Structure 1
Amino acid sequence: MVKQNQSTISFLLLLLLPLLLILAISTEVEGANKLFVFGDSYVDTGNFHNSGSYKPPSGMTYPGAPAGRFCDGRVLTDYIASFLKIDPPTPYSLKNSSNFQNGINFAYGGTGFFQTLVDGPNVSVQISSFEQQIQQNVYNKSDLETSLVLVNSGANDYTTFALKNMSFLEIEKFTESLVKEVVVNLRRIQSLGAEKITLTLLQPIGCLPTISVATGFQNCIDLLNLVSTNHNKLILQNVDDLNKELGKSVFKTLDLYNSFLSTIQTMQKSHAENSTLMNPLEPCCAKDSAGFNCGKVDDKGQKRYTLCEKPELSFFWDNVHPSQNGWNSVYTQLESSLGQLI
C-alpha cells in the first residue's frame, strides 16, 4: 500500500513538473520587469515640470495633451518599457507609495553627466535619489539584480561645452573627461546592486535640426557627427574594460548613433523619390520667423510656431528631439538587439 502511494505521488509530481517550471519562469520574468531610468530629455517622461514638455503642442499625438515628454508622443523610455511588457516607470517627481511596481524614471530634460545650462539634477544627483530609495527599502536586492537600468545622457554636456567655449578646439580632451565621468556613474549604479545596466551611445549630433539648419536641412554635418563617433568609440572601449574587470557582462550599450543615421538615410531616400514625404532633417514643430522654437507664444498668447501637417511622417519633432514616429522608427531598428539587454 505504501509503495502504491509512493508511485501515485511520483506520478503526480511528474504531471506537475511542467506547471512548476512554468511558474518558476513566470516568477523570473516578473522579477525582471522593472525599469530604472537616468539621463536627459530623450528618456524623461515627466520630471521637468517648468518646461515645454508640459505645454502645447507637446503630447498632441500621445496621450493627446502635454504630459511631460519632449515630443508629440512616446519617447525611448516608453518603447523600452513596452519591450519589457510593462507600463513606463513613474517619473520620480510624480512618485507615491503605490506606483513603484514598474521602477522609477529619474531622467530630467536638459541635464547631463556634468552640470549643464539647465538647473536640474545631473546623472550623479539622479543616482543619489535612486540610492535613497534603496536605503528606504523601496527596492530590494532581487529588484536591483533583475531589473533593467537605462542611462541616456551626454548631448547636453557637449552643447554646454560648445556654448561656453564657442568652439570645439579642445573637444578631444573634453570627450576624455566626459567619458571618465560616465564610467564613474556606471560604477556607482553597479555598486548599488544593479546587474543589467544599458548605456545609450550618443546620437549623431550633426544631424540634429539645430545643426543641419546650416545646410537648409539638406545634410548632416559630418564634422560634428565625428564628435559622436569618437565619444562612442571611447564609451565602447570603457564598457568592455568594465565588463572584463567584473568578469561578466553587466554593462551593455544601445546604438542610437547607427539607428538614427540609418532611419534618417532611409527617409531621405524616400523623400528624394517622393517630395510629398517629409524631409527627416526638418523639424515638425518650428517657429514662423527665422530659426525655430517649438511651443513659443507671444505676449498675447498667440502661437509663434508652425506645425507640419503630418507629425506621423516626421523624424524630428523639434530642433533636437525625435517625434513619436522618429522614436518608433529608431525602436524598430533596435528591437532585435534588445533581448541581449535583459
Structure 2
Amino acid sequence: MARRAGVGLVAGGGLLVVLPCLCFCFLLAAAGAGAARRYEAMFNFGDSLGDTGNICVNKSAADQLLLTFANPPYGMTYFGHPTCRCSDGRLVVDFLAQGLGLPLLQPSKRRGLDFRKGANLAIVGGTALDFEFLKSIGLGYPVWNNGAMNVQIQWLRDLLPPICGAPKGQACRAYMANSLFVFGPFGGNDYNAMIFFGFTVDQARNYTPKIVDTIASGVEQLIQLGAVDIVVPGALPIGCFAVYLTFLPSPNPGDYDEYGCLKPLNALSVYQNSLLQSRLAGLRARHPSARIMYADYYAHIEQMVRNPSRFGFSCGAVPACCGAGGGKFNYELDARCGMKGATACRDPSSHQSWDGVHFTEAVNRLIADGWLRGPYCHPPIPPR
C-alpha cells in the first residue's frame, strides 16, 4: 500500500489524526423531578479527543514523536501547563465530569489511583478496528496499536475487580448501572490509517459498515457487563479540519463546499453517522432496559463552521490557533503546535481549531453544554 509522501507520524492526532475523537451527553431530569440524575462514576473511551494522559503514561519509543502535545503551549488556558490533553485546556469529557459533579477523569493507565469515581480509557491513536485487522490490510503502523476499542474495554474489565468485585457479579452490575459510559467517538483513526497511508476515500468507505458493526459490538459488551446509560458519539465533519485540507487538497473546485470544507470527507462522516444511528436503534430494540444515546458531534460543529460569530468566534473555523506553519491554515507537519518555534494565538477562545486537528477549550465547552442541556443528544437522558 503506497504511503503518501511526507505524511507520517503526527502529534496529538496529527496525521495520525486522532480525530477526533470523545463525547457524551447528559440532560436534566424532567422538570417535575427538580434535580439531575446523579451518577456514581463515569467512564470514557475513544481517541485523542478524550485522552487525558494515557498516551503519556503508556508511551513507547514510537510514540515519542507524537508527544508534542506534552509541550507548551498545550494546556495554557485552564491548567497553565501541558497535561497530555490535545487542547489549550479542558476537553469535552472534562466539562461533562464537572457538569455532573464528578472529578476530572484520570487516565486508566496511571497506577495507584482510586478509580471508584470513574476512569478515562481513551488514548491517542485509538481505533475501532483491532490492530491485527489493520495489519491484514496493510496498515500496521505502530501508532494504531496504542489501544483499539476492544483493548480499552479490556482495560475496563481489569479495573473493575478492585472497584466493585468480580465483573458481572451483583455488586459490579449495580455499580455499572449507576455509572455513565461515554463510548467514543471511534472511527476517526481508522480512516486516518487508511486515507493518510494510501487508501482513497471511496476505499475507506468500504470499511465503514465494519467500523460501525465493531462499535455496536462494543456497546453490547458494556451492556453485558451491566452498563445501562451509554452515550455513543458520531463522527465529526472531518472535511473542515486543517490537517485534511492541508494533506488531501483536491484540484477539483467542486469538491469544496461554500465554507471551504472537503465534501467527500464530510460525506464519509455522514455515511458513518447514518449507519451508526440505524445500528443504535436496533440495539435499543434488543436491550429496552438500556439507555443508548446518540451524541451528534456533526450537527453542532457544522453550525459553528457555518456561523462562527454566532458562537463567539472571531476567527474562521479552520485555521489553527497554535502552530508555526503559517500558510492558509497555520498547519504544517514539521511545524506543529508544541514543536520548536510554535506559538499560540493571543486569545484561543476566538478560535475553533487549536492545533489544526483538535478543538480549543472554548469549542469543547460548547459541545459539552450542547450534550448536557441539549439539543445534541438523542434520546435525552433521563427521559423528559
Return closer, same or farther for 1:46/1:341 CA change in 2, 3 Å cut-off.
Answer: farther
Deviation at 1:111, TM superposition (A): 1.4
Which has the higher Rg, Structure 1 or Structure 2?
1
Q: Any conservation in 1 of the 2:125–2:146 contact (CA below 8 Å)?
A: yes
Which structure has more relative contact order (CA 8 Å, sep 6+)? It is 2
Matched, 1:70 2:93: no
Partner of 2:125: 110
Give matches, 1:69-88, under 5 Å. 69-88=85-104
Report SS of the residue matched to 1:63: coil
Partner of 1:320: 357
Q: Any conservation in 2 of the 1:259–1:330 contact (CA below 8 Å)?
A: yes
Q: Deviations for 1:213-262, whole angstroms, at most 9, x for unmatched residues?
A: 447x9611122110000000000000000110112343111111111111
Determine the C-alpha separation between the residues in 2 that align with 1:72 and 1:48: 17
Report SS of the residue matched to 2:368: helix
Determine the C-alpha separation between the residues in 2 that align with 1:314 and 1:223: 25
Partner of 1:130: 156
Determine the C-alpha separation between the residues in 2 that align with 1:176 and 1:315: 30
Q: Any conservation in 2 of the 1:263–1:330 contact (CA below 8 Å)?
A: no
Picking from 271, 291, 295, the partner of 1:250 is 291
Picking from 190, 194, 199, the partner of 1:161 is 194
Determine the C-alpha separation between the residues in 2 that align with 1:95 and 1:147: 21
Picking from 206, 211, 216, the partner of 1:178 is 211
Determine the C-alpha separation between the residues in 2 that align with 1:159 and 1:239: 24
Return closer, same or farther for 1:250/1:172 CA change in 2, 3 Å cut-off.
Answer: same
Report SS of the residue matched to 1:59: coil
Where does structure 2 lack aligned partners over 5 or more consecutive residues?
1-32, 60-66, 135-140, 166-171, 250-255
Q: Any conservation in 2 of the 1:198–1:341 contact (CA below 8 Å)?
A: no
Partner of 2:347: 310
Matched, 1:295 2:328: no
Partner of 1:226: 267
Report SS of the residue matched to 1:90: coil
Q: Any conservation in 2 of the 1:294–1:318 contact (CA below 8 Å)?
A: yes
Partner of 2:280: 239
Deviation at 1:296, TM superposition (A): 4.7
Partner of 1:143: 175
Partner of 1:45: 52
Q: Any conservation in 2 of the 1:70–1:321 contact (CA below 8 Å)?
A: yes
Determine the C-alpha separation between the residues in 1 that align with 2:380 and 2:106: 24
Q: Any conservation in 2 of the 1:203–1:228 contact (CA below 8 Å)?
A: yes
Matched, 1:121 2:128: no
Q: Deviations for 1:18-64, whole angstroms, at most 9, x for unmatched residues?
A: xxxxxxx99x955x131101110111111111423322111011200
Determine the C-alpha separation between the residues in 2 that align with 1:167 and 1:73: 34
How many residue pairs match? The answer is 306
Q: Any conservation in 1 of the 2:42–2:97 contact (CA below 8 Å)?
A: yes
Determine the C-alpha separation between the residues in 2 that align with 1:332 and 1:76: 9
Where does structure 1 lack aligned partners over 5 or more consecutive residues?
1-24, 298-302
Shift >4 Å, 4+ stretches: 268-271
Return closer, same or farther for 1:42/1:270 CA change in 2, 3 Å cut-off.
Answer: closer
Determine the C-alpha separation between the residues in 2 that align with 1:312 and 1:235: 32
Determine the C-alpha separation between the residues in 1 that align with 2:48 and 2:311: 28
Report SS of the residue matched to 1:93: coil
Report SS of the residue matched to 2:294: strand
Higher mean alpha-carbon deviation, 262-271 vs 231-240, is at 262-271
Identity over the aligned pairs, expressed in percent? 23
Higher mean alpha-carbon deviation, 52-61 vs 121-130, is at 52-61
Q: Deviations for 1:266-325, whole angstroms, at most 9, x for unmatched residues?
A: 206789xxxx9212211111223664243354xxxxx23232221121111012100101
TM-score (norm 2): 0.73
Picking from 64, 69, 73, the partner of 1:57 is 73
Q: Any conservation in 2 of the 1:90–1:102 contact (CA below 8 Å)?
A: no
Q: Deviations for 1:183-215, whole angstroms, at most 9, x for unmatched residues?
A: 111111111111111110111111111123447
TM-score (norm 1): 0.81
Determine the C-alpha separation between the residues in 2 that align with 1:224 and 1:268: 24
Q: Any conservation in 2 of the 1:35–1:81 contact (CA below 8 Å)?
A: yes
Report SS of the residue matched to 1:74: coil
Matched, 1:92 2:118: no
Determine the C-alpha separation between the residues in 2 that align with 1:172 and 1:166: 10
